[in-house]
Amino acid sequence: METIKKKKTTEKLNKLDLTEVIINLIDDKKGGNIVCMDLRKIPEAITDYFIICDCESTTQTRAITDYVEYEMAKKYGIKAFHVEGRSFGEWCLIDFGDVVVHIFQKERRAFYRLEELWHDAVIKEYKI
């Protein structure tokens, strides 16, 4: 597990900085079991990074989704290309292009098993 320090920045973010900022935002709202999957060496991948976390309830899933989307736009001027799943709150997806964020309820994460599906990825677990 990797431990990261929260950092504040207002300059344009590179992809790795973007992942760290998003991970810290998820942690602010108590998202659990956060992982970052580096998909850059997988030719079939549609993005460079997946960030995955799980939540206890649909309310928390929506809260993290709203918070990440709002803070990225407000603080960094980075707007999501697409947000999906907010109405049901079991699995929300935020697409930032090079980074796609998956916010799951625990049961849904266990069902879809993205870490197994993309097992060729380099996976980092975060303890913040």
CB crowding 60-87: b at 16 or more within 10 Å, else e: bbbbbbeebbebbeeebebebeebebbe
In CATH terms, the superfamily for domain 33-125 is: Beta Polymerase, domain 2 (3.30.460.10)
Q: Average pLDDT for residues 3-20, to the nearest whole number?
A: 63
Q: What is the pLDDT of residue 123?
A: 95
pLDDT of residue 5 exceeding 60: no
Mean pLDDT for all residues in the chain: 90
pLDDT digits (tens, 9 = 90+) for 37-87: 999 999 999 999 999 999 999 999 999 999 999 999 999 999 999 999 999
Give the pLDDT band (50/70/90) at residue 127. Answer: confident
Q: What is the pLDDT of residue 128?
A: 61
Q: Average pLDDT for residues 27-42, to the nearest whole number?
A: 97
pTM for this prediction: 0.88
Instruction: Give 13 or 92, the one with higher predicted confidence.
Output: 92
